[in-house]
Amino acid sequence: MSKNTDKGEEMRFEHDPKGPIAEFFAPIAGYGVTISSFFRKTVTEQYPREQARVQPRFHGRHQLNRYADGLEKCIGCELCAWACPADAIFVEAGANTPEGQYSPGERFGRVYQINYLRCIFCGLCMEACPTRALTMSNEFELAVYDRAADIYEKQDLLVPLKEGMLAAPHPMVEGLCDGDYYRGEVTGPTQTQIDWVKEHRPDDPTIASAEAAAKEARR
């Protein structure tokens, strides 16, 4: 440990002085890193020839999620838009009706836009969402040639229906309220929901897989 004689204070973070051998090799010591790297595995990413790896919690493009019966999780509350520091989100809610129930409860996200020219991928919108409707995927390839194409609409953000889900709109699971949906008590479409869709949209392509899933759940 050395002393700072000007200030007369102890310099607690100064390196110990080098010995004569270390002083002699000091000018070429920096090459040690370069030379040792010659023998290491190459770590250069080959993107875009190979898909780049990202960490599982990487903040990429947003997605709007669904419940297991196919209803949308977004209730149009606008909390994500209010939380956004970049004013990148625009939400307009619509009222659910008996003929047009898109999400549990009274309202759904009728218009949902994210402007990726503004978004800084901070994730505050995701934290603010009370229903976990909004999450962020690992997708990062968002470059476009047209500025307007960087404004994503609801249909661009809504996750596709998984096998066994029933396309909205349709009624909620009979006997359950929106709180039951939030508590994760919905595991798939019921026969009553499927029958409703059959009556109102007999050509809906999701009926067959929803019926198969409902039958499996009853076993």
Binding site for [4Fe-4S] cluster, by residue number, is 74, 77, 80, 84, 119, 122, 125, 129
- Answer yes or no whether residue 71 interacts with ligand SF4 by CB under 6 A: no
- From residue 189, give the alpha-carbon distance in Å to each of 66, 70, 138, 173, 200: 12, 7, 28, 7, 16
User: What residue has token string 């409703």?
Assistant: 196
Beta-strand ranges (E) seen in 58-104 are 62-64, 89-95
Kindly state the smallest distance separating residue 100's Cβ from ligand SF4, in Å: 17
Q: Which of 68, 71, 77, 194 binds ligand SF4 (CB under 6 A)?
A: 77
Q: Which of 71, 84, 165, 168 binds ligand SF4 (CB under 6 A)?
A: 84
Task: Provide CB contacts within 8 A for 71, sequence distance 6+.
Answer: 101, 102, 103, 104, 168, 170, 172, 181
Kindly state the smallest distance separating residue 93's Cβ from ligand SF4, in Å: 7
Beta-strand ranges (E) seen in 96-167 are 107-115, 134-136, 151-152
How many residues sit in the footprint of ligand SF4 (CB under 6 A)?
Answer: 27
- Answer yes or no whether residue 86 interacts with ligand SF4 by CB under 6 A: yes
- From residue 208, give the alpha-carbon distance in Å to each of 1, 115, 174, 198: 78, 36, 20, 10
Contact 78, 113 (CB under 8 A): no
- Answer yes or no whether residue 152 interacts with ligand SF4 by CB under 6 A: no
- Answer yes or no whether residue 172 interacts with ligand SF4 by CB under 6 A: no
Binding mask 112-131 for ligand SF4 (x = CB under 6 A): --x----xxxxxxx--xx-x
Kindly state the smallest distance separating residue 175's Cβ from ligand SF4, in Å: 23
Q: Name the token pair of 92.
A: 């307009």
Binding site for ligand SF4 (CB under 6 A): 74-80, 83-84, 86, 88-89, 91, 109, 114, 119-125, 128-129, 131, 133-134
